[in-house]
Amino acid sequence: MTMQIRTEGGVERVRSWAADIEENTMEQALRSARCDAVSGPVALMADAHFGLGATVGSVIPTGDAIIPAAVGVDIGCGMIAVETNVSAHHLPDNLGPILRGIGKAIPSGFDRHQHATKAADQWSGAHPLQTTVSLTTKQQRTISQQLGSLGGGNHFVEVCIDERDVVWAGLHSGSRGIGSILAKAHIEGARTLCRDLERALEDRDLAYFLQSDDGFQAYVADMLWAQDYALENREQMMNALLRVLRHCLDGPVRGVSRINCHHNYTERETHDGVEQWITRKGAIRAAAGDRGVIPGSMGTNSYIVTGRGNPAAYMSAAHGAGRRFGRKEAKRRFTTEQFAASMEGRTWQRSKAESLLDEAPMAYKDIEMVMAAQADLVSIDHELHAVVNYRGA
């Protein structure tokens, strides 16, 4: 797809790769682009859809400011994928034990480890959270207990096979409860600051901190810590997943390559010779040579990609298929029978179809269309077909 440009009053506001986009999504992106904190056009990825404050699937440049709600409440949410040394023929005919093994090894939903794992304690000890946000004793204890856990919603674990019949392990998760606590506290702090300083906002969720503001450095410190926590969370779950595969395949399953990438985060980058904050909300970095993971929905394929470094998109790409229908709308539109039919050929939590209905593949956009629309942003290395899908119910 050719990049589309939206202007207002002769000013370039939005660059869009979205071939299938709702009008309210574009209106939201334009609101973000008009925010005084934003320093250039907003880039909309091919999977863009309406979100809280800022559009999911948007890349937002801010020179000396950060919009906490644009980073999102699940700071550092992202994907990890591991190419293994085993092939499809090594997998057992019955994949049920792998699905059940994942459920036992990786806490999901509201669950967490009853006691922090040794790996979690080691990481937490080496990376203490020093925050201005007030935390209860229970919340502080949960930091280590939730490290290595999946969460719910659209977070998942998969075992996949690529076009070469190579087995891959992949999962999607973020910074869990602690990331949400930190994010919500700073989002409210930015709202209060903008209100007190009478900064004009079209949407209060576009509230921002300037680098000169009280609260800016505190947010950055917590945000960077939460991004590191999310990366480590995925690493620990992936290690657990590989142990499940070793047990079920009764062999030396090991990783050949590993990709761990955020798609809800911000970092300081240089574009067009200008150093600025680049916030990717539902987008991955796709600089030339960057490897990334772009998942589809439960019933569709995922992709291992390499970035092309397109400067117009701030060297970014889509983070997935993107929702077409909200969770409540999906449950109204679709039946569990339709859901089950769309999951044919995969081993999944069929008994939980009703509670997982809002994650049915029909609730998402066409991942193949998304990939075609961003051919100038990434090249496809491998296409992954899931044979096991475990969702955080």
| In the chain, alpha helices (H) | 23-34, 68-71, 96-105, 118-126, 137-146, 176-196, 216-249, 327-333, 336-342, 367-373
Residue 99 backbone dihedrals phi, psi, to 5 degrees: -60, -45
Strand (E) or helix (H) holding 389: strand 378-391
Residue 89 annotated as catalytic: no
In a 13 Å sphere around the CA of 173, the CA atoms on its Cβ side amount to 33
Q: Which of 68, 376, 41 is nearest to 209 (CA)?
A: 68
The closest of 48, 124, 116, 133 to 369, measured between CA atoms, is 48
* Set 127, 319, 382, 385: catalytic member: 319
* Cα 235–chain centre separation: 15
Helices 137-146 and 176-196, interaxial angle, to 10°? 130
Distance CA 67, CA 72 (A): 9
Distance CA 192, CA 226 (A): 22
Q: Which residues pair with 391 in a beta bridge?
A: 156
Q: Annotated active-site positions, please? A: 319
